[in-house]
Amino acid sequence: MPFSHDMVYSLTTVVDLLNTSPAAGGGEGLTSVEDLRAFVGRRVISDVENLDDRDLAEVRELRDEFYKVFTAPDRETAVSLLNTLLGRTRITPSLAEHDGFSLHVHYFAPGASLAEHLAADCGVALAHVLVEDERDRLRTCAAPDCDHVFVDESRNRSRVYCDSRTCGNRMHVAAYRARRRA
Ligand SMILES: [Zn+2]
Ligand SMILES: [Zn+2]
């Protein structure tokens, strides 16, 4: 991946967010403020406190927008959708070092809500994916019963399943059984 470690981190965050969406096939993963707190905790999102129902609604709305960018049918659509999103996001780059992470760039503005925070940091990361012409790394799982998204970080862009330990294994087993039957 031609991306810096903090870009990759933000892309992993956006993937995590998108996979909580009903569009990813697993039902609503953000049903409560508690779920939102769990997401913030596992992604170690800094400077976010006092989450409430409004944050939940805003983050779900943003998630829909990111989903459209991530799964856009062509580059033009992705660029246009992302520009709309970035256009209304306050962005203030600053260097930070926290929670054991080495020096990295934050893009969210001071006092940003969780949705603004994600729009800035994940939006910029996706912008770099487009700039580097790496959009084909933004993938949806090839397993027929799974719509999870993932970023293919493999050198030869060969990854097709969201998580090789689950979907990958499952599909290999199914292919093996099909071969034995044949
Ligand atoms: Zn940080
Ligand atoms: Zn999958």
Query: Phi and psi (nearest 5°) for 130?
Result: -70, -45
How much distance in Å is there from the Cα of 98 to the middle of ligand 1?
6
The span from the CA of 141 to the CA of 113, in Å, is 31
Do residues 88 and 109 touch, judged by C-beta distance below 8 A? Answer: no
Domain boundaries, the chain: 5-140
Position 164 scores a pLDDT of 62
How much distance in Å is there from the Cα of 1 to the middle of ligand 2?
21
Q: Tell me which H or E stretch contains 64.
A: helix 53-70
Cα of 20 vs its chain's centroid, Å:
10
Pick one of 1.20.1290.10, 3.30.420.40, 1.10.3720.10, 1.10.3300.10 as the CATH number of 5-140: 1.10.3300.10
How much distance in Å is there from the Cα of 118 to the middle of ligand 1?
11
Which pTM value belongs to this model? 0.91
How much distance in Å is there from the Cα of 119 to the middle of ligand 1?
14
The span from the CA of 11 to the CA of 153, in Å, is 11
How much distance in Å is there from the Cα of 104 to the middle of ligand 2?
30
* pLDDT tens by residue, 24-80: 888 899 999 999 999 999 999 988 889 999 999 999 999 999 999 999 999 999 999
Burial class (CB in 10 A: 0-12, 13-18, 19+), 156: exposed
Please tell me the number of the ligand nearest to residue 169's CA.
Answer: 2
Contacts of residues 160-163 at CB distance under 8 Å and 24 or more positions apart, as own/partner, are 162/19
